[in-house]
A and B are shown apart, each in its own frame.
Chain A
Amino acid sequence: EIVLTQSPGTLSLSPGERATLSCRASQSVSSSYLAWYQQKPGQAPRLLISGASSRATGIPDRFSGSGSGTDFTLTISRLEPEDFAVYYCQQYGSSPHTFGQGTKVEIK
Chain B
Amino acid sequence: DGGITQSPKYLFRKEGQNVTLSCEQNLNHDAMYWYRQDPGQGLRLIYYSQIVNDFQKGDIAEGYSVSREKKESFPLTVTSAQKNPTAFYLCATGRGGGVKTQYFGPGTRLLVL
- A and B pair up: no
